[in-house]
Amino acid sequence: MKRNKRTKSRRQVIPVWTYEQARKASPYLASILRSVREHRIDAQRHEVAAKRLADAPGRPDRKSLIAHTEATRESERAQDRVAEAIGELDDLGIECLDPVQGIALVPFANEDQLAWFIYDLFDEEPLRYWRYHKDPLDTRRPIETIQETNTAA
């Protein structure tokens, strides 16, 4: 009997960052997150326009059919740009938690556990908080606690 090799779980290697690396990459991350946000908002705008055109009462005329098709096409293009920008973050091992709010998670290791720096595009200090991987998504620990832990070890 042959075994299905696809059932074996593949390990995903997540590149870990240091606080200093994340801090230095902050302008680049901000640029990518701004792009993700703008493209996502653009996609949402076109999705709403397409939905309104599709839900308009009565039989659509040629002009509204063309407008609906164009809005749908623009939404798909914007979604492609979102996916491209998120792919750029993925290549760095960074997860985009909320594209519209500009929140991303930068992986690092703390006490032999996977943890995440929480990058907030709209915070005065974008790398102010962190959390462990197993923490709830809304957990926010001050960066100072991680720095104290690392210097004490």
Average predicted confidence (pLDDT) for the chain: 90
Domain ranges of the chain: 19-152
Can you give the pLDDT at residue 146?
Answer: 80
Give the residue, 50 or 5, on which the prediction is more confident. Answer: 50
Question: Over 80: is that where the pLDDT of 11 sits?
Answer: no
* Cα separation, 123 vs 97, whole angstroms: 15
Contact call for residues 141 and 131 (beta carbons, < 8 A)? yes
Question: Over 50: is that where the pLDDT of 152 sits?
Answer: no
Q: What's the burial of 72, exposed, middle or buried (CB within 10 Å: 0-12/13-18/19+)?
A: middle
Contact call for residues 62 and 70 (beta carbons, < 8 A)? no
Can you give the pLDDT at residue 2?
Answer: 52
Can you give the pLDDT at residue 45?
Answer: 97
Mean pLDDT (whole number) for 119-135: 95
* Cα separation, 46 vs 40, whole angstroms: 10
Length of the chain: 153
